[in-house]
């Protein structure tokens, strides 16, 4: 007589065997050859102006562009995963959720026990951000900070550094900590530029990036010791680390790499960089009134609103190109233009650029069709035209969550968008597109609408 197997006893044993096999498979070497075989590089980073963000529907960021250059060179597909803070980066990497941290992690002795630092090594430090308009008196030595009021994000590394510096100087620095849920370091830099506060503190690289937006700030005074930082992989990935090290060493001084550096840290992001407005015929409000009038009919818009967009985007220069690659009279990103049936080259011609813009506006109008108030809907469309629809949809979601009216731009979705450079909000579960720099878009909507209404008051040939 055959013995009957007790499967209830055997099942747990089989599960233990499967688990043991899984652990054994997980312990198999996983390094660059396996990544190349998989054809995908899983990357962990933080959402932010230095690292990775979405702008007009396209990924951008200094770290992202370096990473994109590497992956293109190595024929790898990028899979970007953002996490909420630096600690999560290390946790997720060691858990196997990613192959690489593409974010400047401080190099420490403790860190060397769990991470293998790789890629380009940067030397960063904290700097005082102060306004440098004509007539402003600059602080040139840290001892001159005694008696000065400095605003920083509460409980941040900047506040901690200022407290240590204050102890080193024997006291006297007036440190004002502001809650992180209401303001960001970049907001504080903007406030310094506008003269709303006298000083703040930032990492040197972040300050340098922001100087391209606010050229009246001085960032020369260091207030901390240098700190080394770099990207990181697991210690079990020495071949991936070597590939990154070799690539950075070979490409550090290439024209492509220099162009990336220039785009983020040198090129002005201010509208003042545009050339003077071209000659406008008498009785006209732009050099291309007839083209605007023709294409505005298809979307049933006041043609003068299209003119206001063109002025804001390019000052009517057809060859215009922004720092992120928006081109032509109507300032369209190449992918957006192509999605509207117009090639990137054609955007530098008047009529194709306007045609692509009106097609895009028509699509946006459909997306925001639930907004019944026409002028409010126009503001949503303008915001999405400038920022990309995803960030405006995020702002709508935040407005709903925090008891704002999701169908009103003024003081509602407009305010929710202003939160999107604050970690608490761009890491919120309802937000899908992460960090966003809101000032440009908020100003864009206001300025385009103001110019449109100003055009309405001018006599013009229709």
**369 and 413 both lie in a single domain:** yes
CATH number at residue 375: 1.10.530.10
pLDDT higher than 60, residue 1: no
Q: What is the predicted pLDDT for the residue at 20?
A: 40
Task: Yes or no: say if 47 and 394 are a contact pair by the CB < 8 Å rule.
Answer: no
Burial of 364 (0-12, 13-18, 19+ CB in 10 A): buried
pLDDT higher than 80, residue 119: yes
pTM over 0.85: yes
Within-domain flag for 407: yes
Within-domain flag for 24: no
**53 and 131 both lie in a single domain:** no
Closest Cα to residue 316, out of 287, 281, 359, 294?
Answer: 287
**88 and 105 both lie in a single domain:** yes
pLDDT higher than 50, residue 4: no
**63 and 159 both lie in a single domain:** no
Within-domain flag for 3: no
Q: How far is CA 174 from the centre of its chain?
A: 31
Q: What is the predicted pLDDT for the residue at 74?
A: 95
pLDDT tier, 118 (very low <50, low <70, confident <90, very high otherwise)? very high
**242 and 316 both lie in a single domain:** no
Within-domain flag for 461: no
**441 and 390 both lie in a single domain:** yes
Q: What is the predicted pLDDT for the residue at 205?
A: 96
Dump pLDDT digits (tens) for 198-217: 999 999 999 999 999 999 99
pLDDT higher than 80, residue 10: no
Q: What is the predicted pLDDT for the residue at 462?
A: 55
Structural domain containing residue 392:
272-456
Within-domain flag for 364: yes
Mean pLDDT of the residues in the chain? 91
Q: What is the predicted pLDDT for the residue at 460?
A: 60
Distances (CA, A) of 58 to 53, 54, 69, 335: 8, 5, 15, 8
Name the CA radius of gyration of the chain, rounded. 26
pLDDT higher than 70, residue 416: yes
**98 and 133 both lie in a single domain:** no
């Amino acid at each position: 007589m055959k013995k009957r197997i007790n499967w209830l006893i055997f099942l747990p044993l089989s599960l233990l065997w499967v688990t043991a096999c899984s652990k054994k498979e997980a312990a198999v070497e996983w390094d660059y050859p396996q990544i190349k075989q998989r054809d995908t590089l899983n990357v962990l980073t933080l959402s932010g102006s230095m690292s990775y963000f979405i702008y007009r529907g396209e990924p951008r960021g200094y770290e992202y562009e370096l990473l994109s250059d590497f992956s293109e060179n190595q024929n790898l597909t990028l899979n970007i995963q953002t996490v909420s803070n630096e600690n999560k980066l290390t946790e997720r990497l060691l858990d196997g959720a990613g192959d690489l941290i593409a974010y400047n992690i401080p190099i420490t002795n403790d860190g060397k026990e769990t991470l293998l630092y790789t890629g380009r090594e940067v030397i960063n430090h904290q700097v005082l951000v102060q306004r440098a308009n004509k007539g402003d008196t600059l602080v040139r030595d840290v001892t001159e900070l005694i008696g000065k009021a400095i605003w920083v994000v509460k409980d941040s590394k900047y506040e901690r550094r200022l407290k240590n510096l204050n102890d080193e100087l024997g006291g006297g620095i007036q440190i004002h900590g502001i809650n992180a849920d209401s303001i960001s370091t970049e907001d504080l830099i903007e406030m310094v530029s506008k003269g709303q506060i006298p000083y703040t503190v930032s990492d040197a690289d972040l300050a340098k990036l922001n100087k391209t937006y606010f050229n009246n700030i001085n960032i020369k005074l260091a207030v901390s010791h240098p700190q080394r930082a770099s990207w990181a992989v697991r210690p079990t990935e020495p071949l991936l680390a070597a590939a990154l090290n070799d690539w950075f060493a070979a490409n550090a001084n290439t024209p492509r790499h220099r162009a990336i550096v220039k785009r983020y840290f040198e090129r002005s992001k201010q509208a003042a960089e545009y050339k003077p407005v071209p000659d406008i015929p008498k009785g006209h409000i732009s050099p291309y009134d007839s083209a605007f009038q023709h294409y505005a009919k298809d979307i049933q818009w006041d043609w003068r609103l299209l003119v206001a967009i063109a002025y804001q985007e390019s000052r009517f220069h057809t060859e215009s190109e922004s720092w992120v690659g928006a081109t032509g009279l109507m300032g369209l990103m190449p992918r957006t233009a192509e999605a509207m049936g117009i090639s990137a080259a054609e955007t530098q011609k008047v009529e194709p650029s306007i045609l692509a813009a009106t097609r895009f506006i028509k699509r946006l109008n459909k997306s925001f069709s639930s907004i019944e108030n026409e002028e409010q809907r126009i503001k949503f469309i303008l915001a999405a035209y400038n920022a990309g629809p995803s960030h405006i949809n995020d702002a709508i979601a935040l407005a709903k969550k925090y008891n704002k009216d999701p169908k009103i731009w003024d003081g509602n979705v407009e305010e929710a968008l202003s939160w999107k450079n604050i970690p608490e909000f761009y890491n919120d579960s309802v937000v899908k597109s992460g960090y966003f720099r809101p000032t440009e878009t908020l100003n864009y909507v206001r300025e385009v609408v103001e110019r449109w209404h100003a055009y309405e008051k001018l006599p013009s040939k229709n």
